[in-house]
Amino acid sequence: MLTRHVDRRRFLLGMGGLSAAALVARPAEASLSAPVRKLSLHNLHTGEKVSASFWEEGQYIDDGLASFNRVMRDFRSNEVHDIDPKLFDQLFLLQHRLGKQGEIQIISGYRSPATNAMLRRTSSGVAKKSYHMKGQAIDLRMPGVELSQLRQAARKLAVGGVGYYPSSNFVHLDTGPVRSW
């Protein structure tokens, strides 16, 4: 009987600890509970800027996502592709972690297979099966945020791929598996 009482006590203490841990939200998790998620994007190649909400009242907003898809299009072919909404969630989380709400500068968003192949021929570091071709990646900068700080914050989110390209002055984010280079 005594053993049963100790086991129950340990069980209840363990459950209490789990409950308390669940109440302590990390900053990244807390920001996803925001009732409105908004971003400001600036495509450096086209000069286009868009500021829009992409999440309200528990759901993604089609108009906001469409405006982001357009500004993140393959500027070389003018091809628009649906961008994974999780990528916008990552950007929102990243801004929250950094305490920034300003503009996100787009170096590269969606890339058509033809554009990706051309870049592979003329540049180094372009993946054959790039997440850019799936609408799941962005190469970016944030004014006022050091590139190394941007990379560090993105890695701490642990929600996708993070590439660091200091000589090209951008950080790569994608919604693939958690990894970094």
CATH number at residue 89: 3.30.1380
Q: Which of 148, 65, 54 lies closest to 92 in space, CA to CA?
A: 54
- Whole-number pLDDT of residue 23: 35
Same domain, 2 and 78: no
- The total of structural domains in the chain comes to 2
Return d(Cα 55, Cα 32) in angstroms, integer. Answer: 10
- Whole-number pLDDT of residue 7: 53
Return d(Cα 171, Cα 141) in angstroms, integer. Answer: 7
Q: What is the mean pLDDT of residues 6-15?
A: 48
Residue 65 confidence (pLDDT) above 90: yes
Provide the CB-side half-sphere exposure for 44 (13 A, CA).
15
- Whole-number pLDDT of residue 33: 78
Range of the domain at 8: 1-25
Same domain, 6 and 62: no
Same domain, 12 and 51: no
- Whole-number pLDDT of residue 27: 41
CA distances from 39 to 88, 93, 100, 110, 135 (A): 8, 11, 11, 17, 17
SS3 label, residue 61: coil
In the chain, how many H helices and how many E strands?
A: 6, 8
- Whole-number pLDDT of residue 31: 65
Same domain, 9 and 83: no
Residue 8 confidence (pLDDT) above 90: no
pLDDT above 70: percentage of residues in the chain = 83
Binned at pLDDT 50, 70 and 90, residue 32 comes out as confident
Its pTM stands at 0.81
Same domain, 153 and 73: yes
Residue type, 117: A
Same domain, 54 and 143: yes
Query: What distance, in Å, lies between the first and last C-alpha atoms of the chain?
Result: 56
Same domain, 74 and 125: yes
pLDDT in tens, 88-133: 999 999 999 999 989 999 999 999 999 999 999 998 889 999 999 9
User: Which residues of the chain form beta strands (DSSP E)?
Assistant: 36-43, 49-56, 59-60, 103-108, 137-141, 161-165, 170-174, 179-180
- Whole-number pLDDT of residue 11: 43
Both structure tokens of 127: 């993946």
In contact, 173 and 87? CB cutoff 8 Å: yes
Mean residue pLDDT of the chain comes to 87
